[in-house]
Structure 1
Amino acid sequence: MIQTGDYNRLKVKKETDFGVYLDGGEQEILLPKRYVPKGTKPGDELEVFLYHDSENRLIATTDKPFGKVGDILMLKAVSTTEQGAFLDWGLMKDLFVPKSQQLSKMRKGQEYLVRIYLDNLTGRVAATEKIDPYLSNDPLTVQEKDEADMIVYRRTEIGYVVIINNVHTGLLHFPDVFRPLDIGDRFRGFIKAVKEGNKVDVVPGRSGYNRVEDETGKILRLLRENDGYLPYHDKSDPEEIYAFFGMSKKTFKMATGALYKQQKIDFTKTGIQLLDNA
C-alpha cells in the first residue's frame, strides 16, 4: 500500500517521453523525466517520495524533502496568502500551512517549527504549527538511559521543553545546558529520569560509560593535536570547557579521571598533559 508524504519502493510499469509510470496498485504514478535515473527500464524498482503536485495529481520524485509525514522541523515561509502560508521543504512544490493550523500569522522569510501531516479530507501533505495534539507521554516508548533525538520546543522558567523522538516531551534543565539553544535546535541526548506521571528529564550527549568512552577518545585526540597539553582542569569554567570540548564539566572530569587511571594523562597545576605511553 502506497504512503503519500513518505518514501515508497515502487516498480516501473512503463516508459513514456515525459517520464516513467510506477505501479501504485490501483493507480499508476508518474515519475517525471527529470527525476528518472539513467538506465531505468520497466521492471526496475525505485525508491521515490510521493506527494501531490499543483494540479492535485499524485506524483513521484527522487528528490529528498527536508522531512516526511510525522516529522517535526523548522521550515522557512516563502510566500503567504489569505488561505495560509507556503514553506520550503526541499521540493519543487512548497508545503502548505492552512491559516487554521497557524499559531500566529506567518510571515515570508521567517522560520517556523511545524509538524508535517497528511490531511484526512484532501489526502494531501500539509504542515501545522499546532504540535501539542501529536505529543503524548502516555504511553512512553523510552526509559531511563535510552538515547533519543531531541528538538527544542519552548523555553520555561527552569529549562527547555524538548520533543523526544517526534512523539514525547521532556525537560532539559538549565544546569544541563552548556550552549545557547534556539527553538527548533536538534541534538542527540538521553533520558536522565522518568518521574511520576511519566514526566521525563533529559540531558544532551550519551549516557553512562559509553559517553565517557567517547569523550576520553576526544580528549586524547585534542591533546595530540595540541602538542600533548591543554590548559583545562577541574577548576576551569564550565562554559570554557564546553566551548572547547563540547561536553559538560562533569563529563570532562569523569573522562579525564578515567584517562588518569589508565595512565594516559597527568594533571598539572595549569592543565592536563599527555603521557608518552598514550
Structure 2
Amino acid sequence: MANIGERATLTILREQPFGLFLDAGDELGEVLLPRREMPVKWNIGGEVDVFLYHDSEDRPVATMKRPKVMPGEFAYLEVLSINAVGAFLDWGLPKDLLLPFREQKERLEVGKSYVVHVHVDEASGRIVATRRLNKYLNKTLPKYEEGQEVDLMLYGKTELGYKAIIEGRHSGVLFANEVFRRLRAGEKTKGYVVQVRPDGKVDLSLYPPGRAKINDLESRIEDELKKRGGFMGLNDSSPAEAIHQVLGVSKKAFKQATGALFKKRKISIGDDGIRLTE
C-alpha cells in the first residue's frame, strides 16, 4: 500500500497530456506523475519508483525526485518565503515544505536556515515541518556505550554548550569548554559518547577518548599564534576567563596543550605569554 511521505514502486496505468497516472492503491487511488517528472523510458504496465506528497492544490502527486529530508527525520532547511499560513522551506521538491506558524518557536527570516523535524500531520495528512524538536526526540533511556562514535546534528546552544541530535533520535550536550572550534546550528559531525547519565541525558565530545582533543587544541593554539604574529598574551597564570574568551576552552585544557607544545619545542612560555619558536 502506498502512503503519503513514502517512496513506492507504482505501476503506470496510462498517459495523459500532463503526465502519467500511477496506481497508488485503494486509499490514494490514481496519482499523477507530472510530465516534467517522467522518466526518459517508460511503458504502460511498467513500474516507476516515486515519492508521494501533495501538490499546491492538496492532491496526491508523485515525483521521481528525492526530498532533502524524509518524514520522521530532522534537517537544516532554508526559509524561501513567509505568508499568512507560515514559512515555506526548501526541501528539494517543486512544492515547498510548510512550517506552520503554530509550529514555530521564534520569528523566522527569509534566507536563513533552521533545524526542523519533518512529519506527516495526523489531522490533515499533509507533510509539514516543525521547530518543536523536543516533541520528536526519543525520550527512552539511550543504550550508547562510553566512547561510542555517533552521528550528530547541532540544533541549539545553552549556557552549558551545544545541543545535538544523536543518530537522528536522542538529544545530548557538547560542553562549551570541551569544544575547540566554531560550531553552528544544522552542522553535521561525528562525535563520541562521554557518558549516559541515569536520567537519560547524554554527555558528548567531538573527540575520541585519549589525547585527540588536546592534539586538536595544540593545532588551534599554533594557528592562533601565527595569526597574532607569533605571540599571545596568555600563559599558565592567566585567568580562566581570559583563556576561555580567546580560545573557548578551559584553563586545564590550555595548560595541557601548551605544556605539550613546550615539550615539542614549538613554543616558549614567558611571564607575559607564549611565543612560537619556529
TM over 0.5: yes
Q: Deviations over 1:184-216 (max 9, x none)?
A: 2111223232121122122236x579xx9xxxx
1:106 CA displacement:
2.3
Q: 1:149 aligns with which of 151, 154, 171?
A: 151
Tell me the secondary structure at the aligned position of residue 178 of structure 1. Answer: coil
Q: How far apart, in 2, do the equivalents of 1:73 and 1:236 lie? A: 30
Tell me the secondary structure at the aligned position of residue 199 of structure 2. Answer: helix
1:237: which partner in 2? 218
**CA RMSD across the alignment:** 3.1
2:110: which partner in 1? 108
Q: 1:192/1:235 Cα in 2 relative to 1: closer, same or farther (>3 Å)?
A: closer
1:117: which partner in 2? 119
2:134: which partner in 1? 132
Q: 2:54 aligns with which of 43, 52, 55?
A: 52
Tell me the secondary structure at the aligned position of residue 71 of structure 2. Answer: coil
Amino acid at match of 2:187: D
1:183 aligns with 2:164: no
Q: How far apart, in 1, do the equivalents of 2:216 and 2:96 lie? A: 52
Q: 1:33/1:107 Cα in 2 relative to 1: closer, same or farther (>3 Å)?
A: same
Q: How far apart, in 2, do the equivalents of 1:235 and 1:22 lie? A: 54
Q: Deviations over 1:39-81 (max 9, x none)?
A: 1123433221111001111111112221111121222222212
Contact 1:78 1:109 in 2 (8 A): yes
Tell me the secondary structure at the aligned position of residue 42 of structure 2. Answer: coil
Q: How far apart, in 2, do the equivalents of 1:241 and 1:186 lie? A: 26
Q: What stretches of structure 1 of length at least 5 have no aligned partner?
A: 213-232, 244-249, 251-266, 272-278
Query: Counterparts in 2 of 1:70-89, with a 5 A limit?
Result: 70-89=72-91
Q: Deviations over 1:137-163 (max 9, x none)?
A: 314254434333211122122221111
Amino acid at match of 2:68: F
Amino acid at match of 1:237: E
Q: Deviations over 1:207-240 (max 9, x none)?
A: 579xx9xxxxxxxxxxxxxxxxxxxx97983415
Q: 1:44/1:177 Cα in 2 relative to 1: closer, same or farther (>3 Å)?
A: farther
Q: What stretches of structure 2 of length at least 5 have no aligned partner?
A: 225-252, 254-262, 268-278
2:260: which partner in 1? none
1:241 CA displacement:
7.2
1:9 CA displacement:
2.5
Size of the aligned set, in residue pairs, is 228
Q: How far apart, in 2, do the equivalents of 1:187 and 1:195 lie? A: 22
Tell me the secondary structure at the aligned position of residue 237 of structure 1. Answer: helix
Contact 2:149 2:191 in 1 (8 A): yes
Q: 2:92 aligns with which of 74, 90, 95?
A: 90
2:13: which partner in 1? 13
1:12 CA displacement:
2.4
Q: 1:11/1:151 Cα in 2 relative to 1: closer, same or farther (>3 Å)?
A: same
2:201: which partner in 1? 199
Tell me the secondary structure at the aligned position of residue 133 of structure 1. Answer: helix
- Provide the TM-score with structure 2 as the length reference: 0.71
1:28 aligns with 2:30: yes
Amino acid at match of 1:134: Y
Q: How far apart, in 1, do the equivalents of 2:191 and 2:86 lie? A: 35
Tell me the secondary structure at the aligned position of residue 181 of structure 2. Answer: coil
Q: 1:98/1:22 Cα in 2 relative to 1: closer, same or farther (>3 Å)?
A: same
Q: 1:157/1:19 Cα in 2 relative to 1: closer, same or farther (>3 Å)?
A: same
Q: Deviations over 1:76-112 (max 9, x none)?
A: 2222122212112111111111111111232322222
* Aligned-residue identity in percent: 35
Contact 2:81 2:89 in 1 (8 A): yes
Moved over 6 A (4+): 233-236
Q: How far apart, in 1, do the equivalents of 2:221 and 2:10 lie? A: 52
Q: 1:168/1:236 Cα in 2 relative to 1: closer, same or farther (>3 Å)?
A: closer
Q: 1:175/1:39 Cα in 2 relative to 1: closer, same or farther (>3 Å)?
A: same
1:167 aligns with 2:148: no
Tell me the secondary structure at the aligned position of residue 106 of structure 2. Answer: coil
Q: 1:14/1:140 Cα in 2 relative to 1: closer, same or farther (>3 Å)?
A: farther
